[in-house]
Chains A and B, each alone.
Chain A
Amino acid sequence: MLKSSLALFLKDVYSELRTRYAINALVMFIIVTISVILFSIGNEKISDFLTGGLFWVVIFFSAMSGLSRGFVSEEERGTVMTLQLTAKSSVVFTGKLFFNLILGFSMNILIALLYAVVFDTFRISSLGIFVCIFILGNIGLAVSSTLIAAIISKANSKGTLYPVLSFPILLPLMMILVDLTKSCMGGVILQEVMVEIAILVCYDIIMLAASYLLFEFIWEY
């Protein structure tokens, strides 16, 4: 099964790299969002923790813009039926999840770098813990986003519906991440945030299990 999912993932990567307009649009979206935040802050001095919160705002909206591509592009190109015939639902989900994971990671690393350059108040004291929550947060984001993308790919107003459906599912994740980012910026040792990292891991595992169980009902019709 892993080979089939890998093949599906590679197919998505190649088709995105062939035309590249989607990746360009995503990079431009990230730059535009950060610019909008910069312009709305203007010359005001904002607190460090606020920049931490805004960091996850940019990540959320970039994810809402980019992570639905896996399923929506299949619907637009009309290849959904072929995919349903060729692969099992768990294989499809694994392939699309892997694609969204890689896409999400690349986008978020780019966002983190740009953010650190643009906002000089965005200084992380405990870098190791931040990397840890960054990875766990990305996994949670990708898992939930992939499932909701599968749901909205069959609906009418896909673009507007995607953030509406995703936000309640991602809200626990976002709250924990913002809180942990705040702690990381202030400087913290592992023992103090053990509970919250445990919650992050639990969220990831629960959403992963639920997505695998429910994807079959979305995909097979």
Chain B
Amino acid sequence: MYWKIFLFLLMSFVIVAGFCFPIVPVPAHWYQFPLIPGLEEKARIIFFHVPTAWLTVIAFFFSTYFSAKYLRNKDWQDDIKAYASAQIGMVFCILATITGSVWAKFNWGSFWNWDPRETSIFALLLIYGALFALRSALDNEEKRAQLSAVYNLISFITVPFFIFIMPRIMTGLHPGSAGDEGGSGPIVNFKMNGNMRIIFFASLIAFTILYYWIYQISSRTLILIEKNNRKLIEE
């Protein structure tokens, strides 16, 4: 219960800080962001775009973890947990694509450029979509759980390639791609200004706790619905 209050305070702080902290050429206080030429006010989107992409990968990772657990134990609750996590991952994948598109429009000129990272998030959208299509094409519950668990594991093999390897070795527009002189980009290299870094990591932590909260509610609801269905069938 206390962590929910903590999440509320943290998230409010992140939202207020992300939108209202002033951007000045030379930051003097801890609550001022530096002026990045070319981005100016629009740099604020980094606090919301990167955490949604981060959440997509985490949600998919946990979906795969519960799928692997299902294949070991054949416990239907693990399959439901994998499904709940995949649902959340899909929502945040769509959000990451939209926020990324908006950022691409004002930074690089067009909504979609087939930059490696953009291609990766699109591939992730396709994987989630295929997972849901597979689930809806199977009627038998055990077969559905089994086969979607196998597909989850297979597609998880391609995900690290897409998210971590490909954008760094191919030339592209995102910072951290092959032709970028700055190295691995502002996040891995910690070249972000200290003030922005605080809010950015606070945002990451807040979004992660938010994922955990949504996942708890979602998985518990789905498990209760399923338990209810099974009791009705048994009666």
Interface residues of A (CB under 8 A from B): 147-148, 151-152, 154-157, 161, 164-165, 167-169, 171-172, 175, 206-207, 210-211, 214, 217-218, 221
Stretch at the interface among B39-47, B124-132, B192-200, B220-228: B124-132
Question: Inside 8 A of B138's CB, which chain A residues have their CB?
Answer: 154-156
| A-B pairs with beta carbons under 8 Å apart, 16 shown | A154-B138, A155-B137, A155-B147, A156-B139, A164-B133, A165-B151, A168-B158, A169-B155, A171-B158, A210-B157, A214-B150, A217-B71, A218-B147, A218-B150, A221-B142, A221-B146
Tally of chain B residues near chain A (CB < 8 A): 27
**Closest partner residue, chain A, to B144 (CB atom):** A155
Question: Inside 8 A of B119's CB, which chain A residues have their CB?
Answer: 175
CB contact under 8 A between A218 and B157, given known A155-B134, A156-B139: no
**Whole-angstrom CA separation of A213 from B153 in the bound complex:** 11
Contact B134 A207 (CB under 8 A): no
Contact A169 B143 (CB under 8 A): no
B160-195 to A contact mask, C-beta < 8 Å, 1/0: 011000100000000000000000000000000000
Chain A nearest CB from B231 CB (Å) reads: 26
Main secondary structure of the interface of B (DSSP, over half): helix
**Whole-angstrom CA separation of A214 from B64 in the bound complex:** 13
**Whole-angstrom CA separation of A210 from B154 in the bound complex:** 7
Contact A151 B151 (CB under 8 A): yes
Question: Inside 8 A of B127's CB, which chain A residues have their CB?
Answer: 168
Instruction: Compute the total of residue contacts between A and B using a CB distance below 8 Å.
Output: 67
**Whole-angstrom CA separation of A206 from B139 in the bound complex:** 31
Contact A169 B158 (CB under 8 A): yes
**Closest partner residue, chain B, to A166 (CB atom):** B130
Indicate whether B55 reaches chain A with its CB closer than 8 angstroms.
no
CB contact under 8 A between A171 and B130, given known A155-B147, A214-B154: no
Contact B151 A210 (CB under 8 A): no
Mark out the residues of chain B between 66 and 103 whose CB falls within 8 Å of any chain A CB in the assembled complex.
71
Mark out the residues of chain B between 89 and 124 whose CB falls within 8 Å of any chain A CB in the assembled complex.
119, 123
Contact B126 A168 (CB under 8 A): yes
Indicate whether B149 reaches chain A with its CB closer than 8 angstroms.
yes
Chain B nearest CB from A66 CB (Å) reads: 20
**Closest partner residue, chain A, to B70 (CB atom):** A217
Interface residues of B (CB under 8 A from A): 71, 119, 123, 126-127, 129-130, 133-134, 137-139, 142-143, 146-147, 149-151, 153-155, 157-158, 161-162, 166
**Most B Cβ at <10 Å: residue of A148, A151, A207, A210:** A151
Question: Inside 8 A of A214's CB, which chain B residues have their CB?
Answer: 150, 153-154
Question: Inside 8 A of A218's CB, which chain B residues have their CB?
Answer: 146-147, 150
**Whole-angstrom CA separation of A168 from B132 in the bound complex:** 13
Chain A nearest CB from B70 CB (Å) reads: 10
**Most B Cβ at <10 Å: residue of A148, A155, A156, A168:** A168
**Most B Cβ at <10 Å: residue of A151, A165, A175, A214:** A165
Contact A217 B149 (CB under 8 A): yes
CB contact under 8 A between A207 and B157, given known A155-B137, A168-B127, A168-B130: yes
A151-B151, A165-B151, A214-B154 given; name 11 further pairs at CB < 8 Å.
A147-B154, A156-B139, A164-B130, A165-B130, A165-B133, A168-B123, A172-B158, A207-B157, A210-B154, A218-B146, A218-B150
**Closest partner residue, chain A, to B124 (CB atom):** A168
CB contact under 8 A between A217 and B133, given known A156-B139, A169-B158, A207-B157: no
**Whole-angstrom CA separation of A154 from B155 in the bound complex:** 18
**Closest partner residue, chain A, to B157 (CB atom):** A210
**Whole-angstrom CA separation of A221 from B141 in the bound complex:** 12
Question: Inside 8 A of A217's CB, which chain B residues have their CB?
Answer: 71, 146, 149-150
Question: Inside 8 A of A151's CB, which chain B residues have their CB?
Answer: 134, 147, 150-151
